[in-house]
Amino acid sequence: MLRLEGFYGQSVDIADDRLYDGEEELWVQARGDVVRVGVSKVGVLLMGGVESAEFFVAVGDALAVGADLVFFETFKAVRYVVSPLAGEITAVNEAVVNDPELFDDDPYGDAWLVEMRPAEDQDLQALLLGPAEYFRALERSEHCAEGSEILIEAKQGSPTCRSVYGGIRGNDPGEGSLSWKSEGADPDDAMRAS
């Protein structure tokens, strides 16, 4: 597991056993002759959480790259997500329709979207990013900055992130999350302390 610190003021885990579509913020994991596709933790954060999901596909459907896959109603807006690969749908995870909180709770496990048998003529390594490439792209994104400085640094165009490989560490109060600020705290104090 790779850990990215300071993305939207939070610690974000990036599973290192799969490939990523950085535009759609999807992950793709090989499982024998099929792949499982899901939304990365970064994708969930950028959407602001998922209120509901509706699939445009069913088992047996053949998809092209860029075909409509799923529709999300989020706490910010609505979002259409397209397929990162061509292939045939072999399973659809209805559990995320019934329990959209899975996206927050387990984005790399129970919150997968579909399984598909990729078209044979595709080079997944060429179409998608490896975990380290995805990690580096996120580090350079405008959303990556330390804690309460995120908006200021992103606007200045010089975001910084600390990256820590491996391990799992909690996000304790005051460590990189604006949501942990106590009532009446002065934002200027937090910026001077960092």
Using DSSP's 3-state secondary structure scheme, residue 193 falls into helix
Structure-block tokens of residue 131: 């975990």
Confidence (pLDDT) at 49 = 87
Q: Output b/e per residue, 6-23; b: 16+ Cβ within 10 A.
A: bbbbbbbebbeebbbbbe
Tell me the domain boundaries of the chain: 23-128
For 23-128, CATH number out of 2.40.50.100, 1.10.150.120, 2.120.10.30, 3.10.180.10 equals 2.40.50.100
C-alpha span between 85 and 108 (Å, rounded):
18
Residue 144, pLDDT score: 73
Of 34, 14, 12, 38, the closest CA to residue 24 belongs to: 38
Q: DSSP character for 72?
A: E
pLDDT on residue 145: 55
**What pLDDT is attached to residue 190?**
37
pLDDT at 15: 92
Q: What is the pLDDT of residue 173?
A: 39
Mean pLDDT by 10 residues, the chain (194 residues): 83 92 95 95 90 96 95 89 96 96 94 96 92 91 55 38 34 35 38 38
CB atoms within 10 A of CB 126: 6
